Amino acid sequence: MSITMDLLFFVLGGIIGSFLNVCVYRLPREKSIVTPGSSCPHCGKPISFYHNVPLVSYLMLRGRCRHCGGPISVRYFAVELLTALLFVALYRGWGLSFELAVFLVFVSGLIVISFIDLEFRIIPDTLSLGGLLVGVGFSFFRDGFTYKDALLGILLGGGVLWVIAFVYELVRKQEGMGGGDIKLLAMIGAFCGIKGVLFSLIFGSFLGSLVGIPLMIAKHADAKYALPFGPFLSFGAVLYVLAGDRIIYAIIDIISPR
Ligand SMILES: [Zn+2]
């Protein structure tokens, strides 16, 4: 756990983050993620130039297009910084291990899903179902997490939200939970198992209400119109990967002190 390694993972995260930005931009628009690069929404010139140096380029250009000076979404900077910080946190949590590789991939997927859901209110199947398959694939090689854990996680993740959505529709006569959220929770199950699914659902819902209810009141809107659920489920899953067991033990300690 040296400072050099922290820096290495920060830089790696920044580079991966700028690639994730391309995915956030392209996947919902069903464009190729390889060619050509993103273009400035104002002048149409390619903006791949500032992917050269993640984070730094955005700051140097003060978030503006080099060609026309038009503003470029702060999302580009946010995704790069978030990815860089999470890569360092994951390295610190898991050290150099196969689990680290698994969770770097998992969290990268969650970042793309969250930012697409925030912007477009959809979660592409390519990411959720594709991620689910990747999670199952990893499970054959992981230590202390088998393909059975992955399958049970998928069943619970897919099942729990499906039942909630089904009951909600019966009671309210309208669609509640999006199908995208159900597939996302199934994907979380493929990487984190039953425990991770429950943890993500509980913490995601808790944080969602913490942010969502005031927003609902302020906007006089229905919860499902106010906020997408995907980023909150993802936040719960990231929290689980980084500190799930510690948080669970702390809660058990509070409920039944030894
Ligand atoms: Zn421009």
Quick: pLDDT tens for 21-73: 888 888 888 766 665 566 777 887 776 645 567 888 888 888 888 888 888 88
| Over residues 167-183, mean pLDDT | 76
Task: Tell me how far the alpha carbon of residue 2 lies from the centroid of ligand 1, in angstroms.
Answer: 40
Flag whether pLDDT at 102 surpasses 60. Answer: yes
**Ligand 1 center–CA 69 separation, angstroms:** 6
CA 47 to centroid of ligand 1, rounded, Å: 8
Give the distance (Å) from ligand 1 centre to CA of residue 124: 28
Residue 122 CA to ligand 1 center (angstroms) comes to 27
Report whether pLDDT(107) > 70.
yes
**72 Cα: distance to centroid of ligand 1 (angstroms):** 8
* 11 CA → ligand 1 middle, Å: 26
Distance CA(171)–CA(62), nearest Å, equals 50
Cα(39) to centroid(ligand 1), Å: 8
Structure confidence by residue, pLDDT tens digits, 111-170: 999 999 998 889 999 999 999 999 999 999 999 999 999 999 999 999 887 787 778 778
Helices 230-255 and 75-94: angle between axes, nearest 10 degrees: 40
pLDDT tens for 197-234 read: 999 999 999 998 888 778 777 777 665 555 789 999 99
Comparing 107 with 53, the larger pLDDT belongs to 107
